[in-house]
Amino acid sequence: MDDYCQNNYDAKRYARALRAANEALSVDNERLDARQLAMLSAVKVMESNIDAYHDNSLMNSSDKATLNETLTNITTLVNASN
């Protein structure tokens, strides 16, 4: 998993890296390397999809509110762990 996941992340194939990291976590959920790559890959996938946030035909205000709340929760969790 390590090389496959890391190579995909390094090659900016974030969705593949995320899938590989999640597969590794399904086998051993204590793998910190896989957990870190999963989180970083998820953020990169979200960054690449953020254009939908600005397009009202793709996301309605309820979806945007849910996304905003989720991002706020993630930020709070990250800040609390520091």
Against a cut of 0.75, is the pTM above it?
Answer: no
Contact 17, 5 (CB under 8 A): yes
Q: Is it the case that residue 16 has pLDDT exceeding 90?
A: yes
CA 30/CA 57 separation, integer angstroms: 40
Domain segments of the chain as ranges: 1-49, 50-82
Which alpha helices (H) appear in the chain, and where do they start and end? 2-10, 14-27, 32-49, 51-54, 61-81
1 pLDDT band (50/70/90 cuts)?
A: low
The per-residue pLDDT for range 62-77, each reduced to its tens digit, is 988 998 898 899 889 8
The rounded mean pLDDT for the chain is 86
